[in-house]
Amino acid sequence: MSQIAKLSALSLAIALSIPEVSAHPLFSGKVVSRADLLPEYDYVVVGAGTSGLTVANRLTEQKNVNVLVIEAGDLDKNEDFVTIPGLAGGAAGTKYDWNVTYTANEGLGGRKVPIPQGKIVGGSSKLNRLIFDRGSKSDYDGWESLGNKGWNFAGLLPYFKKNEKFTPPTKEIAAQYDIKNDLKNHGDKGYMQTTFSPFFWPTTKNIVKATKALGIPINDQATGNAIGGFFCPHNQDPVTVTRSSADEAYYDTAVKRQNFHVITGQQVSRIVTKKSNGAVKVTGIEFASSASAKRQSVKVKQEAIIAAGALFTPQLLQVSGIGDPALLKTINVTTVVELPAVGHNLHDHVLLAVANTLNTTLITSGSLRSNATFAAEARKQYDTEKKGPLTSPTGDFLLFLPLQTYSNATSAIASQAKAGKASASLPSDTPPEVAKGYQAQYASLNEKLVAKDSAILEIIWGDGTVILGLQHPYSRGSVKAASSSVFDAPLADVGFLRNPIDVALLREGIHFARRLVKTEGITELKPVEVAPGANVTSDADLDAFIRRSSSTLFHPAGSCKMGPKDQGGVVDSELKVYGVEGLRIVDASVMPILPAAHTMTTVYAVAEKAADIIRGSAAYKAACLE
């Protein structure tokens, strides 16, 4: 959102001193307060995040269709840590973060891992590190194989393109790194600004050199062949050199529409349903500004669209009576629709860092923290020229590797997986239909282990630190509402490393990280390993390090998965919740299985496709005519 619009929103809200509802500017300067809200909306979207704003924007392209978006967080104030690419991620841990933590993780020796999630207009697209990549064709084709017709790479490609307005790299960067992009794979009319950083940290050249020395190909991730190395675009504006989030992309371009309403600082507390003639239908949405505040509500004419993210969407369904009756009983919620799969299949990419110190005269990204003079110069350069270190969120070159590219143990691990039981990945209270659906995932994961077109490990080079990202974890967990109140944080057990195959895959990753730093290109930086440390070599010691140090890559997904109901699906392939009329989910929770990619780009594509599905429905067409 532009600075001027934000300031006018704030001053208007203060001037009108609205008592209960922190309002948002609408209708060219008019503020929506409780009194201004319509009693009924065609569509009510829960969550003004990455997916929610995308869908709300597209649905309001038809002026007769009115949409209300309800967001728990507030607007940002264009703080540096939100807008400047080089400071990306800085909003994690602030008031723009829900500040929740995964539950104590058995596979991590009982550690609790914090999991940042955006609580802000723009959602997690305001907190993230701006890495804007697609997964491979095999990742999305796998969604279709799991029973989701039309959900494959070819079916998603138009939506990856619809989302983006791609700008090729600057001439200097393109020439220095020989970056070539086939524009036919990119969008040029979307709202999301994507481009490459105009500055790469100097040791990027070293990691590219080492990649080539290892015989790993360098491809273009946009083609569906996100395998090997690739130069990674970021969601940043090439002119202002600032973050392009769902706020700038999908809010700013819809805000003047009379039919697009957003209300902030309000947490949706319940999806209101009515049972008649055996069918359950959504009739309204209840919300409040705090646990103790009076509940308010709006009526839903066509549909409620849930876009609260992978941790909060299942919780909202559960507190509304949609879920596993056994769980709902423990939190004193009456079951409205029996759907035990809600909250299950939660998974996330595992992060593990192998750290080396470097002995080089090249400038490294740590200088921004350790060298005040350098940091001040970088800031001046950014402010005056929009150039230099602060224009890069880092991660300008990434590796996505099949198991056989990074390890010699492919057949041993594949045999271990084949001999193992799928149930080793699942919590003990997994409902039978979820276990059945996971059996199919397990078979697909086993195929990925031996495939050449499926990446198992990501490598992010951070000036000596080799970050490993486990892309197709076997382990699964679940999200459970902690009480009947949405204001109590959900219990999210991500189940990291529940299945020992995940440990074996990371162990091979550590061996590869060591091989990588001993390769021409990196050796000239004189790396010395400090974590886990060169003396940590036995499987037992490496495994202990993995369990002690693994964390999250911030990609929770899958907790209301799309799939057949008898295989643990919560939504069908039109993203409609089973057993409830007028209810869809459009966020990261519907992914049946994570792609080998950072998740934002896929969330946008899913949301763009969801909007098209909704626009094709009879209810939407009827609303257009009213």
> In the complex, what is the shortest distance from the CB of residue 379 to ligand FAD, in angstroms, rounded to a whole number?
22
Select 55 or 413, whichever has its Cβ closest to ligand FAD.
Answer: 55
Closest-CA residue to 601 (of 398, 375, 378)? 398
Torsion of Cα atoms, 360 then 366 then 371 then 376, to 10°: 120
330 exposure class (CB count in 10 Å sphere: 0-12, 13-18, 19+): middle
CA-to-CA dists, residue 380 to 199, 376, 385, 397, 399, angstroms: 15, 6, 8, 26, 32
- How far is the C-alpha of 310 from the C-alpha of 590, rounded, in Å? 8
Look-up of token digits 């299950």 = 344
> In the complex, what is the shortest distance from the CB of residue 54 to ligand FAD, in angstroms, rounded to a whole number?
8
Does 318 contact ligand FAD by CB under 6 A? no
CA-to-CA dists, residue 69 to 45, 192, 339, 351, angstroms: 5, 20, 26, 33
Select 51 or 499, whichever has its Cβ closest to ligand FAD.
Answer: 51
**Which long-range contacts (C-beta less than 8 Å, at least 24 apart) are formed by 103-109?**
103/491, 103/492, 103/493, 105/493, 105/494, 105/495, 105/496, 105/497, 106/498, 107/475, 107/495, 107/496, 107/497, 107/498, 107/502, 107/503, 107/547, 108/496, 108/497, 108/547, 108/548, 108/550, 109/547, 109/548
- How far is the C-alpha of 83 from the C-alpha of 89, rounded, in Å? 10
Binding-site residues from annotation: 50-51, 268
- How far is the C-alpha of 214 from the C-alpha of 228, rounded, in Å? 11
* 98 neighbors 489 (Cβ within 8 angstroms): yes
x/- track of binding to ligand FAD for residues 292-311 (CB under 6 A): ---------------xxxx-
Helices 153-163 & 137-145, crossing angle to 10 degrees? 120
Handedness of CA 116, 119, 124, 126 (dihedral sign): negative
Size of the site for ligand FAD (CB under 6 A): 44
Three-class secondary structure of residue 176 per DSSP: helix
x/- track of binding to ligand FAD for residues 567-606 (CB under 6 A): --------------------xx---------xxxx-x---
Q: Which of 186, 349, 472, 598 is the catalytic position?
A: 598
Residues numbered 459-488 forming contacts with ligand FAD, rule: CB under 6 A: 486
**Out of 83, 103, 125, 444, which residue is the one contacting ligand FAD (CB under 6 A)?**
125
**Out of 42, 71, 164, 396, which residue is the one contacting ligand FAD (CB under 6 A)?**
71
Q: Which stretch binds ligand FAD (CB under 6 A): 112-120, 201-209, 248-256, 275-283?
A: 112-120
Q: Which stretch binds ligand FAD (CB under 6 A): 124-132, 361-369, 406-414, 618-626?
A: 124-132
Does 46 contact ligand FAD by CB under 6 A? yes
Torsion of Cα atoms, 585 then 586 then 590 then 595, to 10°: 180
Q: Which stretch binds ligand FAD (CB under 6 A): 118-126, 255-263, 428-436, 497-505?
A: 118-126
Does 138 contact ligand FAD by CB under 6 A? no
* 613 neighbors 148 (Cβ within 8 angstroms): no
Cis amide linkage into residue 198, ω under 30° from 0:
no
Residue 234 is among the residues annotated as catalytic for this protein:
no
Select 134 or 507, whichever has its Cβ closest to ligand FAD.
Answer: 134
428 exposure class (CB count in 10 Å sphere: 0-12, 13-18, 19+): exposed
**Out of 59, 83, 84, 119, which residue is the one contacting ligand FAD (CB under 6 A)?**
119
Select 481 or 506, whichever has its Cβ closest to ligand FAD.
Answer: 481
Closest-CA residue to 54 (of 242, 186, 251)? 251
> In the complex, what is the shortest distance from the CB of residue 313 to ligand FAD, in angstroms, rounded to a whole number?
7
Q: Which of 344, 349, 472, 555 is the catalytic position?
A: 555
> In the complex, what is the shortest distance from the CB of residue 122 to ligand FAD, in angstroms, rounded to a whole number?
7
**Out of 50, 392, 465, 471, which residue is the one contacting ligand FAD (CB under 6 A)?**
50
Torsion of Cα atoms, 306 then 308 then 309 then 310, to 10°: -70
**Out of 167, 181, 267, 441, which residue is the one contacting ligand FAD (CB under 6 A)?**
267
Residue 555 is among the residues annotated as catalytic for this protein:
yes
Does 103 contact ligand FAD by CB under 6 A? no
Q: Which stretch binds ligand FAD (CB under 6 A): 42-50, 341-349, 364-372, 382-390?
A: 42-50
Select 395 or 431, whichever has its Cβ closest to ligand FAD.
Answer: 395
Select 270 or 507, whichever has its Cβ closest to ligand FAD.
Answer: 270
x/- track of binding to ligand FAD for residues 77-96 (CB under 6 A): ------------x--x----
Closest-CA residue to 243 (of 50, 53, 83, 91)? 83
Does 221 contact ligand FAD by CB under 6 A? no
Does 57 contact ligand FAD by CB under 6 A? no
- How far is the C-alpha of 255 from the C-alpha of 591, rounded, in Å? 29
Report the amino acid identity of residue 614: I
Does 344 contact ligand FAD by CB under 6 A? no
Q: Which stretch binds ligand FAD (CB under 6 A): 48-56, 141-149, 151-159, 520-528?
A: 48-56
Select 344 or 598, whichever has its Cβ closest to ligand FAD.
Answer: 598
Binding-site residues from annotation for FAD: 50-51, 268
281 exposure class (CB count in 10 Å sphere: 0-12, 13-18, 19+): middle
**Out of 130, 333, 577, 610, which residue is the one contacting ligand FAD (CB under 6 A)?**
130
Handedness of CA 131, 351, 221, 206 (dihedral sign): positive
- How far is the C-alpha of 373 from the C-alpha of 320, rounded, in Å? 54
- How far is the C-alpha of 198 from the C-alpha of 22, rounded, in Å? 38
Does 196 contact ligand FAD by CB under 6 A? no
Does 288 contact ligand FAD by CB under 6 A? no
**Out of 143, 160, 231, 312, which residue is the one contacting ligand FAD (CB under 6 A)?**
312
Does 394 contact ligand FAD by CB under 6 A? no
**Out of 45, 214, 316, 467, which residue is the one contacting ligand FAD (CB under 6 A)?**
316
Q: How many CB atoms lie within 10 A of CB 409?
A: 17
**Backbone φ, ψ for residue 275 (5° rounding):** -105, 125
> In the complex, what is the shortest distance from the CB of residue 269 to ligand FAD, in angstroms, rounded to a whole number?
7
Residues labelled as active-site residues: 555, 598
Residues in the site for ligand FAD, rule: CB under 6 A? 46-52, 70-73, 89, 92, 116-120, 123-125, 127-131, 267-268, 307-310, 312, 316, 486, 554-555, 587-588, 598-601, 603
